[in-house]
A and B are shown apart, each in its own frame.
Chain A
Amino acid sequence: MSETKKYPAPVTNPETAAFWDAAKQGKFMIKRCTACGEAHYFPRSICPFCYSDKTVWEEASGEGTIYTWSLMRKSPTGPYAIGYVTLKEGPSVQTNFVDCDLEKLKIGQKVKVVFKPTDGAPLPFFTPA
């Protein structure tokens, strides 16, 4: 189902273009602040924690665990599971879970990033590791 579902292409902007350029190469990027050391998501140019502008792009492992999830039983494009993944690097990210039995998701389950195509840059999703 997630194979056939059509996802909107990211609009992108100067602040986030590097994320989407990397996504085209299959890389999942986060931002890290070199002043306070904290990683964050989605990416900002100014660190949301210490307000330093010394933020740099970092390729994330793409691995994490399910923080929470909910299976939307009906929608115009069929059921889908939304949730948050807490990345190995720290930040939690909103996502959909794909390519798996959506009724068997569990909080704490290990997952990994997988990209799905759009008419523009691909979008990151997560699937059981």
Chain B
Amino acid sequence: MKKQVTLSKEFLKGVWDNNPVLKQLLGLCPTLAVTVSAINGLAMGLAATFVLVMASLLISTIRKIIPPQVRIASFIVIIATFVTIVDLVMKAKFPDLSKALGPFIPLIVVNCVILGRQEAFASKNNPGRAFLDAIGMGAGFTIALLVLGGIREIIGSRTFFGLQIMPDQFEPWLIMILPAGAFLTLGLLLGAVNVYADRKKRLEHESLVAHYKRVGREELIEELEVK
């Protein structure tokens, strides 16, 4: 039973607590560059998730064979192989999307989220756990890109996934789909995430203090303040 809980945590930590974009600030280049629309963000997120999951699975399977001295180089070659697969498949099946994302699909190779997970997690854990971790991180990355792309598309071109949802009276803010809008939106989004996380932390702290007061162990509160 205990194992079950930790496994689901392995998955969930990537979605929120350690969200690669919103909390760890990794992989910002593709995040900012492709999120002109929700569909672009989703496509980029899924492509990166595929590479992350496949690379994590393979690397955690052969982690004992890779000599530690050349591990980074081997990781990069493995990642580059999967990126090439994604790039070629997208060129063949979704030529429009591939053109819209431009060089950012090949640039998944140097996405620090992917290399970071291999170094920090997949090279030290069994394939099952590495798979869950990769899926979670990929989901977190995709969600962040989708939210950013959604906000920018709704305000910048009145549509969401190509469907018009804002009334005609609403004048689209051109800046949102220009580079400057990407920086501004992500900056405000990060600020909002920090506000939310701070408030959650304070509420937790207060409820802990109240609990200690109830059971009459004031000395623990002081310990908490020191922390």
Check if A and B associate.
no
